[in-house]
């Protein structure tokens, strides 16, 4: 797959069909229409319970509300408590998105969780979400592209749909950055917040949905924004803990310069590739890091600032969750209408950056009747029951077989 895709799809290489079964599936889903589009049919968000204001932070580190607001635009953020985690927030956001789309978890083919704060190195947070939601027919994986993660996720998810491989894909951006922030470092701890946002992408033969995407990276700038320890290079040790190397390290000014350089050009690229002009765009949804970065992009693009969605005053920088959360907010405020063209643009650690142009569809939140709620609760109960019985089965299997493999599958003995 190239990292640059353009409609009309007639110009795209034909989808590769692995076998006849896949071809059958495609035919059943799309009939005689060879062109398929990935539409956003559901969206949802989730926030932790606990609110942390700038004044709260001013009691923790040497900072002021005035400094934070004037340098970043942030007024408050939400932080996870011990019971909340990246997986619980991701599950909640995804469940809200599925619910509003009226789609059952069993219909989901693929779950992509973009996150820089996964629950564990493995298993993937996406697998935990799969289990919690009861998406019994879905593949699941995590994607790490820091704050650009949602743009990468939506690009991959839409390509899976357009290739014919999948029909329904959940793309989630979820973070608990509060867990990797050094709460004594005033230069970073005031910036970040926790939260999650999710999209349900679904195949359609109606033109629209994700139109073009553009992804880029520059690893030479990786040190500008990183968590140095805990991976294969620097394993956890007394020294890494003492030196706070498991927390976010950032050269703020360098990231600032990089962001203002790449944002405008990424927006222009996806608009050009779609054969549109900036005047055709109703809304720009940027990664929420700093209002000054957003203002600079607006100025460079000569787009009025009121066409940009800004939510960082309420949520801070929630990394890969910031764009889907901003879209949920904009929709609730009535700022997004059917057929509107939106550009989503992100940048972050890696360094990575990218943009996606999408045409909003006609999906509206499904009415939540008592019957819907009962169904949802029944589904939740059933997926917990299914997960629990699978665990019990595994325990029984272990008790019966011990550590040996089933007969006929014994590994060869080595001397
Ligand atoms: O998702 C991507 C992640 N990161 C970003 O997008 C960050 C991009 N960068 C930024 O948004 C800005 O660079 C910051 C908001 C991080 C910093 O703003 P700045 O205008 O670049 O400030 P600065 O780093 O140049 O620091 C200016 C002064 C320094 O004091 P001196 O050296 O001038 O005496 C800092 O020590 O502000 C001081 N400072 C603070 N003062 C009060 C730094 N943090 C704080 C603070 N409260 N929280």
pLDDT at 403: 64
CA 109–ligand 1 middle distance (angstroms): 42
Confidence of residue 58 (pLDDT cuts 50, 70, 90): very high
Confidence of residue 13 (pLDDT cuts 50, 70, 90): very low
In a domain, 252, yes or no: yes
Confidence of residue 63 (pLDDT cuts 50, 70, 90): very high
**pLDDT tens across 96-112, in order?**
999 999 999 999 999 99
Asked whether the predicted pLDDT for residue 19 surpasses 70, the reply is no
pLDDT at 322: 98
pLDDT at 368: 75
Q: Beta partners for 354?
A: 215, 346
CATH code: domain of residue 310: 3.40.47.10
Asked whether the predicted pLDDT for residue 8 surpasses 50, the reply is no
- Where are any strands of DSSP class E within 275-324? 283-286
In a domain, 141, yes or no: yes
Asked if residue 415 has a cis previous peptide bond (ω within 30° of 0), the answer is no
Distance CA 385, CA 347 (A): 40
Which percentage of the chain shows pLDDT scores above 90? 80
CA 394–ligand 1 middle distance (angstroms): 51
Q: Beta partners for 356?
A: 213, 344
Ligand 1 pocket mutation pick from 60, 68, 70, 71 by most atoms within 8 angstroms of CB: 71
Average pLDDT over residues 105-125: 97
Q: Report the pocket of ligand 1 as residue ranges, CB < 6 Å.
A: 63, 67-68, 71-72, 147, 186-187, 190, 225, 250, 252-253, 255-256, 259, 289-290, 317, 348
**pLDDT tens across 295-328, in order?**
999 999 999 999 999 999 999 999 999 999 999 9
Specify the number of domains making up the chain. 1
Nearest residue (by CA) to ligand 1, atom 30, is 187
pLDDT at 338: 95
| CA dihedral of 355, 98, 85, 184, whole degrees rounded to 10 | 40
Residue 304 host element (H or E)? none
CA 144–ligand 1 middle distance (angstroms): 25
In a domain, 105, yes or no: yes
The residue from 127, 147, 189, 328 that is catalytic is 147
Most confident region among 33-37, 137-141, 371-375, 381-385 by mean pLDDT: 137-141
Phi and psi, residue 63, nearest 5°: -150, 175
Asked whether the predicted pLDDT for residue 34 surpasses 90, the reply is no
Confidence of residue 406 (pLDDT cuts 50, 70, 90): low
Compute CA distances 243 → 148, 182, 188, whole Å.
27, 10, 16
Other Cβ atoms less than 10 A from the Cβ of 280: the count is: 12
Ligand 1 pocket mutation pick from 149, 151, 252 by most atoms within 8 angstroms of CB: 252
Asked whether the predicted pLDDT for residue 9 surpasses 80, the reply is no
Q: Which residues contact 143 (CB under 8 A, 6 or more apart)?
A: 112, 113, 114, 115, 149, 152, 153, 156
The range of the structural domain enclosing residue 343 comes to 4-359
In a domain, 62, yes or no: yes
pLDDT at 344: 98
Is 96 one of the annotated active-site residues of the chain? no
In a domain, 397, yes or no: no
Confidence of residue 16 (pLDDT cuts 50, 70, 90): very low
CA 252–ligand 1 middle distance (angstroms): 6
The residue from 189, 287, 290, 328 that is catalytic is 287
In a domain, 369, yes or no: no
Distance CA 202, CA 130 (A): 17
Asked whether the predicted pLDDT for residue 287 surpasses 50, the reply is yes
Asked if residue 123 has a cis previous peptide bond (ω within 30° of 0), the answer is yes
- Where are any strands of DSSP class E within 186-243? 194-204, 209-217, 225-226
In a domain, 411, yes or no: no
Asked whether the predicted pLDDT for residue 20 surpasses 80, the reply is no
Query: Which of 14-18, 250-254, 317-321, 395-399 has the least mean pLDDT?
Result: 14-18
**pLDDT tens across 354-393, in order?**
999 999 998 777 777 888 888 888 888 888 899 999 999 9
In a domain, 233, yes or no: yes
CA 187–ligand 1 middle distance (angstroms): 5
* Angle CA 148–40–27, to nearest 5: 115
**pLDDT tens across 254-284, in order?**
999 999 999 999 999 999 999 999 999 999 9
pLDDT at 17: 35
């Amino acid at each position: 797959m190239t990292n640059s895709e353009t409609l009309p799809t007639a110009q795209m290489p034909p989808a590769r069909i692995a076998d006849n079964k896949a071809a059958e599936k495609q035919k059943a889903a799309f009939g005689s229409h060879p062109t398929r589009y990935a539409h956003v049919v559901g969206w949802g968000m989730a926030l932790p319970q606990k609110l942390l204001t700038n004044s709260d932070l001013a009691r923790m580190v040497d900072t002021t509300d005035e400094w934070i607001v004037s340098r970043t635009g942030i007024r408050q953020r939400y932080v996870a408590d011990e019971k909340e985690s990246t997986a619980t927030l991701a599950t909640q956001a995804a469940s809200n998105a599925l619910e509003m789309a009226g789609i059952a978890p069993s219909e989901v083919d693929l779950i992509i969780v973009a996150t820089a704060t996964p629950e564990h190195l493995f298993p993937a947070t996406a697998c935990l979400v799969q289990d919690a939601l009861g998406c019994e027919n879905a593949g699941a994986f995590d994607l790490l592209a820091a704050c650009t993660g949602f743009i990468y996720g939506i690009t991959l998810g839409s390509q899976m749909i357009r290739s014919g491989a999948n029909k329904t894909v959940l793309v989630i951006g979820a973070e608990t950055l509060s867990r990797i922030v050094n709460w004594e470092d005033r230069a970073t701890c005031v910036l970040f917040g926790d939260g999650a946002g999710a999209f349900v992408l679904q195949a359609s033969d109606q033109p629209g949905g994700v139109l073009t995407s553009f992804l880029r990276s520059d690893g030479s700038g990786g040190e500008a924004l990183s968590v140095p320890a805990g991976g294969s290079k620097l394993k956890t040790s007394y020294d890494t803990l003492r030196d706070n190397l498991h927390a976010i390290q950032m050269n703020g000014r360098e990231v600032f310069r990089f962001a203002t350089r790449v944002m405008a050009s990424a927006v222009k690229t996806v608009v050009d590739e779609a054969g549109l002009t900036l005047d055709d765009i109703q809304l720009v949804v940027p990664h929420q890091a700093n209002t000054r970065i957003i203002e600079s992009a607006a100025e460079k693009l000569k787009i009025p600032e009121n066409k940009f969605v800004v939510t960082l005053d309420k949520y801070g920088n929630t990394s890969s969750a910031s764009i889907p959360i901003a879209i949920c907010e904009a929709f609730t405020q009535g700022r997004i209408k059917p057929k509107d063209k939106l550009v989503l643009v992100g940048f972050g650690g890696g360094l990575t950056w990218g943009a996606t142009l999408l045409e909003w569809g006609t999906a509206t939140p499904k009415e939540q009747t008592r019957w819907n709620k009962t169904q949802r609760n029944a589904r939740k109960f059933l997926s917990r029951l299914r997960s629990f019985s699978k665990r019990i089965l595994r325990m029984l299997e272990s008790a019966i077989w011990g550590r040996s493999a089933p007969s006929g599958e014994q590994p060869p003995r080595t001397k």
